[in-house]
């Protein structure tokens, strides 16, 4: 009964000062909204990256020169196609090994042109990675061994150069060199921030001749089964280290990539949420401030309530509830605002956002906690007021 | 044998003001029996309100002993004191002290909140008490929609709603015209006739004369105690 009355009084007090209550809430609203929206964006991005990494194919082992650590300088690759052959022997199956050498090049067809990522690859690429053709055919082993100037276009490149027309059999130039289009990929979208539809696949040998090098950037292996993937990685790295004693090599699996990216994103999301949390704290200070004002304004009311039998705790609870009501209302509004912002960002921008129930629950809990923490001092002060002194206050 | 409502023995109250000691009461001894009707008179600043606050359990004496309903105030916790104010004492303030945004009925029902009584019952009891003080037609009015006399009657109804055995009234007629003041007094006296002990502070000799006993205060002391002259 006393608590019901305390709720009623607290609600009444907030309603009597509607504008002030709203402004006080604003700090909490913004803080909670920022936390919810930022966590949603962080979560959405993480989920998207996970989907993309998994979309590369299963049991993948990616081998690159250099150490795979945050902050490690990129190492120039000493790898050649001979190394790829050596790795194929370790794996025991040439069709499970893919290589790339990539370079950004201008592509042109008639009057249309664009900028694309040329990928010099083996004919094994579609079996190692998940890559679906939309029309035409992929590169053959002969194309690779003879360095034939044929190309398979990403969906975006095909659209840029040919619009709705069928590109198969047409001539294009890559970096000024003529190639014949033999196939086109299904649209794939973004992957790890790279537009996969902007790729042009050509035989690695043709790419090397065009770039005037015999190097490759790295290789990828599809392991026969999950259990052998780590052992295979160690064997491949040992083989390559044997052949190039001056260079470190790293073999990473999808799980490792996901782990590293997840950690980075987790830290980033955490930092952003903490910054947003600071505004929640500032909002809390505002609540504390306004509650002190409220106690002062209602000193006579407090005196009277005590005179007719309110215990210190009754008064304290009343003011604490007022503070908690203030921050939790702000918390709910902030949750709605944050969720709305997240959905808007997800819908209208390329940044993905995914709402999670725990971030909403956390934000609500924190806002209630802020109310308690920042309301307790004013509430105690109100509860301890001397009734006679309080009644005399003007 | 009944316990006296109040027994004060050598009660002092010293206020601290900017490092100075202001003795407002300098040794007051007083007994109020159940059903008493007592008037306190005295010049301004003589300590009447200070004494009333002590008798009402709103304040604690600096020295001496004060028993309210047989319990020593010095030994009571703030919660016990609040409970005492709520259960045995009704206090009527000179300046009414009604909650501004609250109806007459909810003002009157306020003490019942702290007894843990539900709203429906509070309103029923408050309405009955407002009827008792002749305000049955003003139940849902707010203080600013009431006259001074009506506000004072709401305050009296609030003091009575818990059924106290002692009613303390600090200049209950001070702000009212004499006709309204008389009707308030008549109300208090009818309560007294039902057995409620009444202590009232007044500046009005005529009002004081109606009490069973008059107490004259001066400079924080009781200087004279005389039986009333009215019937
Ligand atoms: N909170 C306080 N701090 C300091 N001095 C106080 C305080 N309250 C009262 N006094 C002093 O105590 C003395 C008695 O005050 P009190 O209010 O009891 O007088 P009173 O008899 O009720 O006067 P009045 O008839 O004007 O209401 C006065 O001198 C007053 O200045
Ligand atoms: Mg006074």
* Partner residue facing A311 (CB), from B79, B93, B111: B79
Chain A residues whose beta carbon lies within 8 Å of the beta carbon of residue B113:
1-2, 5, 310
Residue B1: inside a domain, yes or no?
no
Q: Does the pLDDT at position B231 exceed 60?
A: no
Q: Does the pLDDT at position A216 exceed 80?
A: yes
Residue B125, ligand 1, Cβ within 6 A: no
More reliable by pLDDT, A244 or B107: B107
Over range A239-247, report the average pLDDT: 88
Residue B54, ligand 1, Cβ within 6 A: no
A316 strand-pairing partners: none
State the pLDDT at residue A192: 64
Contact A370, A284 (CB under 8 A): yes
Over range A113-131, report the average pLDDT: 89
* Partner residue facing B82 (CB), from A16, A303, A306: A306
Q: Domain span at residue B126?
A: 6-227
E-assigned strand segments in A56-198: 60-65, 97-109, 112-121, 133-136, 150-153, 171-174, 177-185, 190-191, 194-195
More reliable by pLDDT, B181 or A320: A320
Taking a contact as any Cβ pair under 8 Å apart, which residues of chain A between 275 and 314 contact chain B? 300-301, 303-314
Residue B13, ligand 1, Cβ within 6 A: no
State the pLDDT at residue A73: 57
Domain total of chain B: 1
State the pLDDT at residue A191: 66
Over range A252-270, report the average pLDDT: 83
Q: Does the pLDDT at position B167 exceed 60?
A: yes
CB-based contact, A3 to chain B, within 8 Å: no
Residue B35: inside a domain, yes or no?
yes
State the pLDDT at residue A63: 85
Band of the pLDDT at A55, cuts 50, 70, 90?
A: confident
Contact A329, A5 (CB under 8 A): no
* Partner residue facing B97 (CB), from A16, A311, A391: A391
Q: Does the pLDDT at position A298 exceed 80?
A: yes
Of B168, B14, B173, residue with least CA distance to B92: B168
Instruction: Write down the pTM of the prediction.
Output: 0.74
Q: Does the pLDDT at position A386 exceed 50?
A: yes
CB-based contact, A385 to chain B, within 8 Å: no
Q: Does the pLDDT at position B96 exceed 80?
A: yes
In percent, the amount of chain B with pLDDT more than 70 equals 97
State the pLDDT at residue B230: 47
Domain CATH code at residue B191: 3.40.50.300
| CA A219 to each of CA A125, A206, A215, A222, A390: distance values in angstroms, whole numbers, following the listed order | 10, 17, 11, 10, 80
Residue B49, ligand 1, Cβ within 6 A: yes
Which tens digit of pLDDT belongs to each residue from A347-375? Answer: 888 888 888 888 888 888 888 898 899 89
Question: What distance in angstroms lies between residue B140's CA and the mean position of ligand 2's atoms?
Answer: 31
């Amino acid at each position: 009964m006393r608590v019901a009355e305390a709720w009623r009084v607290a609600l009444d007090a907030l309603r009597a000062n509607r504008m002030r209550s709203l402004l006080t809430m604003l700090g909490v609203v913004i803080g909670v909204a920022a936390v919810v929206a930022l966590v949603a964006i962080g979560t959405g991005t993480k989920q998207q990256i996970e989907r993309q990494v998994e979309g590369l194919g299963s049991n993948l082992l990616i081998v690159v020169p250099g150490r795979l650590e945050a902050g490690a300088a990129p190492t120039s690759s000493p790898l050649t196609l001979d190394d790829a052959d050596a790795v194929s022997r370790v794996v025991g199956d040439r069709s499970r090994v893919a290589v790339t050498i990539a370079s950004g090049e201008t592509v042109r067809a008639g009057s249309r042109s664009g900028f694309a990522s040329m990928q010099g690859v083996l004919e094994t690429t579609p079996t190692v990675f998940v890559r679906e053709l939309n029309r035409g055919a992929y590169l053959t082993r002969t194309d690779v061994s003879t360095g034939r100037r044929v190309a398979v276009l990403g969906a975006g490149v095909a659209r840029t150069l040919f619009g709705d027309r069928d590109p198969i059999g047409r001539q294009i130039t890559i970096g000024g060199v003529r190639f014949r289009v033999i196939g086109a990929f299904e649209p794939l979208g973004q992957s790890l921030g790279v537009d996969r539809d902007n790729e042009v696949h050509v035989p690695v040998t043709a790419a090397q001749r065009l770039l005037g090098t015999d190097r490759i950037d790295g290789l990828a292996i599809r392991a026969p089964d999950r259990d052998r993937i780590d052992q295979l990685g160690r064997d491949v790295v040992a083989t390559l280290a044997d052949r190039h004693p001056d260079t470190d090599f790293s073999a990473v699996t999808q799980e490792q990539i996901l782990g590293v990216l997840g950690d980075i994103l987790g830290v980033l999301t955490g930092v952003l949420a903490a910054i947003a949390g600071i505004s929640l704290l500032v909002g809390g200070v505002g609540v504390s401030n306004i509650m002190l004002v409220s106690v002062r304004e209602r000193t006579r009311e407090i005196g009277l309530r005590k005179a007719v039998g309110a215990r210190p705790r009754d008064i304290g609870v009343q003011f604490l509830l007022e503070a908690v009501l203030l921050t939790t209302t702000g918390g709910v509004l902030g949750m709605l605002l944050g969720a709305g912002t997240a959905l808007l960002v997800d819908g209208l921008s390329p940044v993905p956002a995914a709402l999670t129930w725990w971030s909403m629950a956390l934000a609500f809990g924190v806002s209630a906690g802020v109310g308690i923490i920042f309301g307790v001092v004013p509430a105690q002060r109100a509860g301890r007021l001397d009734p006679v002194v309080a009644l005399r206050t003007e | 044998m009944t316990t006296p409502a109040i027994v004060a023995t050598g009660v002092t109250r010293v206020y601290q003001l900017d490092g100075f000691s202001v003795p407002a009461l300098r040794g007051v001894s007083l007994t109020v029996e159940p059903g008493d009707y007592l008037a306190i008179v005295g010049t301004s600043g003589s300590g009447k309100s200070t004494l009333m606050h002590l008798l009402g359990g709103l304040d604690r004496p600096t020295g001496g002993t004060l028993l309210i309903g047989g319990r020593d105030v010095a030994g009571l916790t703030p919660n016990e004191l609040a409970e005492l104010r709520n259960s045995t004492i009704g206090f009527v303030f000179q300046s009414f002290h009604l909650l501004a945004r609250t109806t007459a009925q909810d003002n009157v029902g306020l003490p019942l909140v702290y007894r843990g009584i539900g709203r429906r019952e509070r309103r029923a009891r408050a309405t009955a008490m407002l009827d008792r003080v002749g305000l049955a037609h003003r139940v849902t009015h707010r203080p600013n929609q009431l006259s001074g006399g009506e506000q004072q009657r709401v305050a009296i109804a609030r003091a009575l709603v818990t059924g106290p055995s002692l009613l303390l009234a600090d200049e209950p007629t001070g702000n009212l015209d004499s006709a309204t003041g008389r009707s308030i007094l008549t109300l208090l006296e009818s309560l007294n006739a039902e057995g409620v002990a009444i202590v009232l502070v007044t500046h009005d000799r005529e009002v004081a004369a109606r009490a069973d006993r008059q107490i004259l205060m001066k400079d924080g002391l009781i200087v004279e105690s005389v039986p009333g002259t009215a019937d």
